[in-house]
Amino acid sequence: MRRLVSDTLVIAERNLIRLPRAPELLLAFTVQPIMFLLLFRYVFGGAISTPGIPYVQFLIPGIIVQNIAFGGFVTALGLNEDVHKGLIDRFRSLPMARAAVLAGRTFSDIVTNSLSVAILLVTGVIIGFSFNTDVLHVIAGIVLLLMFGYAFSWVFAFVGLVASTPESANSVGFIAIFPLTFISSAFVPVASMPSVLQAFAKVNPFTITVNAIRSLWLGLPAGNYVWGAVVWTVVITAVFAPLAVSRYRKQGRA
Amino acid sequence: MSSEVPAITVRGLVKSFGEVKALAGVDLDVAAGTVLGLLGPNGAGKTTFVRVLTTLLRADGGTASVLGLDVVADAGELRQRIGLAGQYAAVDENLTGLENLVMVGRLYGMTRGKAKARGMELLDRFDLTDAAKRPVKTYSGGMRRRLDLAAALVAKPPVLFLDEPTTGLDPRSRLGMWDVIEDLVAEGSTVLLTTQYLEEADRLADRIAVIDHGLVIAEGTSDELKDRVGGERLEVRLEDPSDAEPAVQALLPMADEPPKCDGILVTIGVRQRHGIIVEAVRRLSEAGVEVDDLALRRPTLDDVFLTLTGHAVEETTADESPEAAPV
């Protein structure tokens, strides 16, 4: 167990020290979400009506949830590269804890996700967002966000190990997860969608998590959203972490 | 250094990928403190063999052990005693040379300080000290391979696996790599080295095992193998194909084995290098044969294969075509 923790930290450190050296990755989770935020706030925002609250209040939780789900993308690309460059072979030939490569990978996502949440929140506040609840609720929201992001890191870990190339990992991410984030309450009220989409949007983990964050940060009616989001987070992790680990163990065994 | 105790023991190792039998029942022993060169073309099963022995791949049948540790049952303990380097093991391009070695050292369970000291020592030894703080992506191919080898040596493993350590390197880097490997060997490590180049196995290995279609088809010292292959080759290129028969007749007394003739190219196997060219020229000129070119060359992997299997090297994967070995 001590070995697992120390090996995980070594791998996480390795993932993080390379980040400032690969500026395109850093750009992906700083500049791109800010661009998205500004586009929705100032271009689409005027055309979207959100009864009861200003659009900027509605938008920030949505865009942060979308962004954190994609934070695991660094894991998909990184693992895929490690597989193809033979680093996974090196790790597997070392007397290190077997789970440490994936645990270190997903752990470093928590660090980068925290950074991107901070950047988006600061940008949000600059363009008019404000919390309507107390510090405890705000922190609870951030913890929930990081948990949700962590669950998606495992989804992306699996994608990164299965995908034949970084490009295909990219397209799987975009085709499977991008629409999910849009058919949810992240950017528009669910009530404005056609009824078929509404039915889907209501059970979509993104809707539930976005609504949970809105209740924690804005004091909107909580319903069962917070618990629902926790359950989704646990379920996604419980499905994809074992899938990714078993795929990692079999890597290269064909 | 006792050569009685095998450091690596392999019996009946079998591994298939779908229809393809990568290993078809390999038996092999490597004595402690010796270097075994596993020689074969692409797709012969060399990499699969190394992957099974380094616990990366599980065989379908047979047994393999390193220092008495079974590759499946004792995998965890085995990983502490081996180092792996070569075309498929790798280093992180975004880290510096030193960061790579420190990472590997810590994953072997060393403290940060100890890993760093060991890393510096290895960088110095492999002539990479100047590049220690540069990201690996700025390294040349030869520097990467040296770093890769250094990474395999971090924990001073008693048994080393080098999978085609010089494939894809330019001739100069290859020579540098050979020097490095020779030093290791001199220190008494047990090394299993795979290669496509007879010359490389010849220079570095105590014993050579030739592998083809997943089977060891010959094993012995370099001299034993060369005796079977028939030593060096004298190649005579004729001006006129109709001279082939007189040329063969003229050279016959010098040949170890029946001369081969292919259009204007006549090849004979010769054991003694000394004075061969002068004698060949004299005989051919006495026979009135016009010669375009005449050269003595060492046997290649192709010759080994042709002699041992009756067929030339079959490339099953075309992506890693062997470049010309340095002469």
* Residue B238 DSSP symbol: E
Which helix (H) or strand (E) segment holds residue B159: the answer is strand B159-163
Tracing tokens 């014993």 back to the chain, one arrives at B207
pLDDT at B312: 64
What does the block give as tokens for A167?
Answer: 């490009």
Which helix (H) or strand (E) segment holds residue A60: the answer is helix A55-70
How confident is the model over A3-41, as pLDDT tens digits? 889 999 999 999 888 888 877 777 777 788 888 889 988
Partner residue opposite B89 with nearest CB, options A13, A17, A90: A90
- A68-78 per-residue burial string, b: 16 or more CB within 10 A, e: under 16: bbbbbbbbbbb
Same fold, B6-227 and B232-297: no
Does residue B324 surpass a pLDDT of 70? no
Residue boundaries of the structural domains of chain B? 6-227, 232-297
Angle CA B182–B100–B170, to nearest 5: 45
Partner residue opposite A18 with nearest CB, options B76, B94, B109: B94
Domain count, chain A: 1
CA-nearest residue of chain B to A90?
A: B89
Q: Which chain A residues have a beta carbon less than 8 Å from that of B80?
A: 95
How confident is the model over B185-230, as pLDDT tens digits? 888 889 999 998 888 888 899 999 999 889 998 898 887 877 777 6
Amino acid letter, B99:
E
- Find the domain containing A22 and state its range: 2-250
Are the CB atoms for A15 and A105 separated by under 8 Å?
A: yes
pLDDT at A212: 92
H helices of chain B, where? 46-53, 75-79, 97-107, 112-125, 141-153, 171-186, 198-204, 222-229, 244-251, 276-286, 301-309
* Residue B96 DSSP symbol: B
pLDDT at B180: 85
CB neighbours (10 Å) of residue A246? Answer: 12
Q: What are phi and psi of B261, to 5 degrees?
A: -135, 125
CA-nearest residue of chain A to B100?
A: A14
Asked if B99 reaches chain A (Cβ–Cβ under 8 Å), the answer is: yes
Does domain B232-297 bear CATH number 3.20.20.70? no
Does domain B6-227 bear CATH number 3.40.50.300? yes
Determine the Cα–Cα distance for residues B119 and B104; give it in Å rounded to an integer: 9
Q: What is the DSSP string of A20-56?
A: GGSHHHHHHTTHHHHHHHHHIIIIIGGG---TTS-HH
Mean pLDDT of all residues belonging to chain B: 84
Does residue B162 surpass a pLDDT of 70? yes
Q: Tell me the sheet residues that pair with B237.
A: B265, B293
Return the closest-CA partner of residue B94 out of A110, A78, A153: A78
Residue from B101, B104, B107, B163 whose CB has the most chain A CBs within 10 Å, to mutate? B107
Q: Please give the ipTM for the structure prediction.
A: 0.84
Residue B226, Cβ density class (10 Å: 0-12 exposed, 13-18 middle, ≥19 buried): buried
CA-nearest residue of chain A to B71?
A: A93
Asked if B107 reaches chain A (Cβ–Cβ under 8 Å), the answer is: yes
**Chain A closest-CA separation from residue B203 CA (Å):** 27
How confident is the model over B43-56, as pLDDT tens digits? 888 999 999 999 98
Lowest mean pLDDT segment, chosen from A16-25, A217-226, B104-113, B302-311: B302-311
Which band of pLDDT confidence, cut at 50, 70 and 90, is reported for residue A254? very low
